[in-house]
Structures are given as C-alpha cells and as structure tokens.
Amino acid sequence: GGAMRLSEAIEALLLATQANGRSSRTVEAYREKLSYLLEALGDVPVETITVADLRRYVAGQLARTTDYQPDNPPSGSLSPFTVAGRVRALKRLFNFLVDEELLDANPARRIKTPHPRRVIPKGITHADLGRLLDSTKAGGLLDLRDRAIMLLLADTGCRLSGLCGLRLSDVELEARRALVTEKGEKTRPVYFLDLTANALGAWLKVRPNADTDALFLSLTRWGTPQGPLTGATVSRMLSRRAERVGITGKVNAHSFRHAFARDFLMSGGDLAALSDLLGHSDVLVTKEFYGILTGEELRQKHAQHSPIKWLVEGGNDGDHDGL
C-alpha cells in the first residue's frame, strides 16, 4: 500500500537486476550511482518527481565537471564519465518503473544522457616503459621496489589506489595473481606474468621490516620505511625516473593503465574481459574510455582480424570456388 518512495523504487530495480542474473558488481554500481539522486531529491514518492527536478539534479552534477582534470581532480569535481554513468542509471530506473507499471509517465524520458568528449588516453609507449625499467638496473633497494611497482602497474592495469592498498597477503606469487581493492570496496583479482612475479619476489626478499603489512613501503633515500606507499610517492617516483631517462611526455600511474588497455585490445583481447580486468562496473565504461583506438590502430587491428586474411595468407589469389 501507499505511495512508492524513491528508496523503495531503487531497491526494486536492484532486486530485478539481480534476478535478471546480472553480476553483484552491476547491482552495486546501480546502488552507488542512484544514491546521489536519492541524496539530491530526498526520499520522495516517485510519482511526485518531475522532469524539472531531474533536470536540476543533472545540471547540478554537470556543473561539477567544469574544472575536472583526470590526473588531479579538484575536490568535489566530477569526471564527465562519472556523471554520464549516473544519468544512465537514472534513466534506467525510470524506464524500469514505467515498464513494471509502477509509474504512469516517465519524467526521465526527455533527459539526455551527456556524451563526454572523447580524448584518446595517452598510454605509455613500449620504448618509454623499457627506459623506465632500465633506470632500475643498479638494483638498489629503491630500484627493486620501483621496478616491481612499474611492472605491476603495466602488467595488471590496476589503479594507483589499488596498487598502494595491496597487502602482503593479497599477493599470490605462485598463482601469479593479486587481489586489488579499488574505489571503496570493489575487490577483484588481477593477473601477472613471470617477469612481474620475479620482480615482486626480488622486492619481497629485501623489503625492510615495518609495522605495516602493506606490500609496498614509502622509503627514505636511505631505505628507512615510512609506512605504506602513498599515491603521491609513486607519482613523484615516476616523474623523477622519467626525467632521469629523458622522457619528455607525461608519465603517471594512469598511463600504465591506458597502455595495458591499448595493448590488450590491439593484440585481440575482447572488451568484456578487459572490463573485468580493469574493474569497471559496466562494459560501457570500458568502451567509453578504451574502446577508442586511433585510426592507425584500427587499421592494424583490421589487418590482424579481417575475414579475408586467410585468403591472402594462404597464398590463394582469390579464385576460390566457395566465393
């Protein structure tokens, strides 16, 4: 009985999403994205929500994207991709309510989903990655730590927060995998190759004793532990090493993630697997960020996967009966 409130409407959508067999990650992503709508409008009866209410909410969210910068977001600012995701979730909610006949008219029908300008993310090049790793050749304590950090970033595509949050117990060297926790509470497995496993093993052998179980430690120049590694320390370390080996472009933790995604797609990996490896709640997010290859990359990808490739490679000059 009684009017359905916004919180109840959201719960109904989450239940339906779960019952439709979507992953718990998708369900949680909807919960998170719709919590901002609930916060903005209050727990009002859904039939009292007007298109003007929703427009005010969306306009307020978009206003927070104006001074957003991906590498150094001012506090309170939002990525345009984050806002687009919240708007998509809102439209999903109201479409669902109308489909289920819990609502007669759809106030979200005329709300447009914003499409952020796509900037092709700059991934670190293979040559630059090689140079950065070369800078650790001396093999001192910091070199061993930094080599493991850089290989882990490049090999797993994990976020900086995930890397810094790794505990000793999160890493399974034998199984070549680690459990990273990012964006609040989302934990997922990431996988790595022998080279990275060896670098991690080498770091673990020399890791100083510290009163923390963090995998990576912030160290003074003399190797005294200063607690768990921080994102700022990694950023400083990367720019210092980049400068030392003469890399002019910007090098930050995210450029390793971008390179991981680019190489994964360029070598024939699929978007759905990439989405899981990167820890995105939705393949759409992955597509927005990384499904964008430059023209030249698309040309190469086409050359790898075109259905007539076998004709050319088979040395057949095209006079095939089946065609």
Among candidate residues 159, 207, 241, 262, the one labeled active-site is: 159
- Binning pLDDT at 50, 70 and 90, where does residue 50 land? very high
Residue 90 Rama label (left phi>0; alpha psi -120 to 50; beta): alpha
Among candidate residues 241, 258, 262, 280, the one labeled active-site is: 280
Highest mean pLDDT among 115-124, 167-176, 278-287: 167-176
With pLDDT > 70 as the criterion, what percentage of the chain qualifies?
A: 91
> Residue 211 corresponds to which tokens in the numbers above?
């009163």
Among candidate residues 118, 126, 183, 244, the one labeled active-site is: 183
Among candidate residues 86, 131, 145, 257, the one labeled active-site is: 257
End-to-end CA distance of the chain: 65
Q: What is the pLDDT of residue 118?
A: 63
Q: What is the pLDDT of residue 292?
A: 64
Q: What is the mean pLDDT of residues 127-154?
A: 95
Q: What is the pLDDT of residue 59?
A: 95
Q: Is the pLDDT of residue 193 over 90?
A: yes
Q: What is the mean pLDDT of residues 206-215?
A: 94
Q: Examine the residue annotation and report whether 280 is marked as an active-site residue of this protein.
A: yes
Question: How far apart (Å, rounded) are the C-alpha atoms in residues 24 and 19?
Answer: 11
Q: What is the mean pLDDT of residues 252-273?
A: 88
Q: Examine the residue annotation and report whether 30 is marked as an active-site residue of this protein.
A: no
Q: What is the mean pLDDT of residues 262-289?
A: 83
Q: Is the pLDDT of residue 259 over 50?
A: yes
Q: Is the pLDDT of residue 208 over 70?
A: yes
Provide the β-strand partners of residue 167: 214
Q: Examine the residue annotation and report whether 159 is marked as an active-site residue of this protein.
A: yes
**More reliable by pLDDT, 318 or 32:** 32
pLDDT in tens, 59-113: 999 999 888 876 567 888 888 888 999 999 999 999 999 999 999 999 999 999 9
Among candidate residues 290, 301, 302, 305, the one labeled active-site is: 290
Q: What is the pLDDT of residue 301?
A: 79
Q: Is the pLDDT of residue 323 over 50?
A: no
- Binning pLDDT at 50, 70 and 90, where does residue 240 land? very high
What length does the chain have?
323
3-state secondary structure the chain: CCCCEHHHHHHHHHHHHHHCCCCHHHHHHHHHHHHHHHHHHCCCEHHHCCHHHHHHHHHHHHHCCCCCCCCCCCCCCCCHHHHHHHHHHHHHHHHHHHHCCCCCCCCCCCCCCCCCCCCCCCCCCHHHHHHHHHCCCCCCHHHHHHHHHHHHHHHHCCCHHHHHCCEHHHEECCCCEEEEEECCCEEEEEECCHHHHHHHHHHHHHCCCCCCCECCEEECCCCCEEEECCHHHHHHHHHHHHHHCCCCCCCCHHHHHHHHHHHHHHCCCCHHHHHHHHCCCCHHHHHHHHCCCCHHHHHHHHHHHCCCHHHHHCCCCCCCCCC
For the chain, the average pLDDT equals 88
Contact 40, 57 (CB under 8 A): yes
Q: Examine the residue annotation and report whether 126 is marked as an active-site residue of this protein.
A: no
Q: What is the pLDDT of residue 70?
A: 63
pLDDT in tens, 13-39: 999 999 999 888 889 989 999 999 999
Among candidate residues 145, 254, 258, 262, the one labeled active-site is: 254
Q: What is the pLDDT of residue 34?
A: 97
Q: What is the pLDDT of residue 114?
A: 86
Q: Examine the residue annotation and report whether 257 is marked as an active-site residue of this protein.
A: yes
Q: What is the mean pLDDT of residues 162-183?
A: 94
Q: Examine the residue annotation and report whether 254 is marked as an active-site residue of this protein.
A: yes
Contact 282, 85 (CB under 8 A): yes
Q: What is the pLDDT of residue 121?
A: 65
Question: How far apart (Å, rounded) are the C-alpha atoms in residues 218 and 227?
Answer: 6
Q: Is the pLDDT of residue 321 over 60?
A: no
- Binning pLDDT at 50, 70 and 90, where does residue 184 land? low
Q: What is the mean pLDDT of residues 39-45?
A: 96
**More reliable by pLDDT, 248 or 62:** 62
Q: Is the pLDDT of residue 51 over 80?
A: yes
